[in-house]
Amino acid sequence: MNFDTTAGEQLAMIKQSAKEFAEQYIRPHIMDWDERQYFPADLFHQLGEYGFMGILVPEQYGGSGLDYQTYVTVIDEISQVCGSIGLSLAAHNSLCTNHILMFGNEEQKHKYLPKLASGQWIGAWGLTETGTGSDAGGMSTTAVKEGDHWVLNGSKNFITHAISGDVAVVIVRTGEKGDSHGMTAFVVEKGTPGFTAGKKENKMGMRASETACLFFDNCRVPAANVLGEVGDGFIQSLKVLDGGRISIAALSLGIAKGAYKAAIAYAKEREQFGKPIAQFQAIAFKLADMATKIEAAELLIRKAGNLKDSGQKSTKLSAMAKYYASEICVEVANEGVQIHGGYGYTKDYPAEKYYRDAKLCTIGEGTSEIQKVVISRLLMEE
């Protein structure tokens, strides 16, 4: 494994491109979007023009055909500026788009991937339900076969892009509740009768990333929209989440880096008792801890990404990366507020937004507790 993440002319160029995009098109608007809870759909069409909406999608389907190391780099750079945009970019790439890429047939791939990879369409992915968060196997939303269609009834909640998404991959129950082979994945297009979205959730952080419920009321979906085999939806989801957890780890990494950079810049310029506060051991040691945890998190993420790129099983490392990176993200953001003192509690400085955005990372795509369940079970199998 090459630990030099700046190696390679192409990766360095993409890293710089993502950084410049974030500075030019995102940074000037972050607080306005945050305050208004505005989801900037047009920005994602622009991200598509840069090739960032289909990073992992092969060129034959209109994507960039790049690897997980590049993907982590892009999510990291965007998230350093705004966690909300990083989150939406990650959800689009690693969940909806990647599910179709991994399990769709050729007809489905050619139909949906070019639109998703170009940013023409925005994707959503639905697994979570109101009564079944971590217990996804107990979902209540059902699909019943009627001729050459399936009829879906129920709802999904906490779905990124539920309102603005042009297409959603949803996993619903087609067998007995609790049966891991009793769930199936469907592609559902916006505008399908009986398929609607609820109100936008009023969130503490990640406010520019749209979150809402999806509702299915006798929603008729063609049998041709089944992804893979009937009954394989839950198993597919677990495999999709291996990559999704690397995404959230990269998101966490970016937010942590952003919070750290803001903190060290402030500590160098803020003076107390005649010198910059960075020169006081109490602050310097905080910065040392923050920097060390960020480095450790990135190495774990890069290792998990390397396993994905080489086609090896990454479940344990993906869970470890997501667990550790998300937890240190919260710690770093918390210390960032502390270093800013009273100003860290105001919206005049970026520390408070990193703090609000960070917490979602320990919850979304499997809580920290679920990651520990995954890790510990796999350790017992070794």
DSSP state string for 308-376 = HHTT---HHHHHHHHHHHHHHHHHHHHHHHHHHGGGGGSTTSTHHHHHHHHGGGGTTTS-HHHHHHHHH
Residue 266 tokens, joined: 């402030």
Q: How many other C-beta atoms are found inside a 10 Å radius of the C-beta of residue 110?
A: 13
- Catalytic one of 129, 210, 327, 365: 365
Q: How many other C-beta atoms are found inside a 10 Å radius of the C-beta of residue 367?
A: 16
CB 128 within 8 A of CB 213: no
Q: What burial letters (b/e) apply to 80-90, b meaning 16+ CB within 10 Å?
A: bbbbbbbbbbb
Q: Is 129 a catalytic residue?
A: no
Strand partners, 123: 167
Phi/psi at 166 (nearest 5 deg)? Answer: -90, -20
Q: How far apart are CA 219 and CA 17, in angstroms?
A: 41
CB 181 within 8 A of CB 235: yes
Catalytic residues: 365
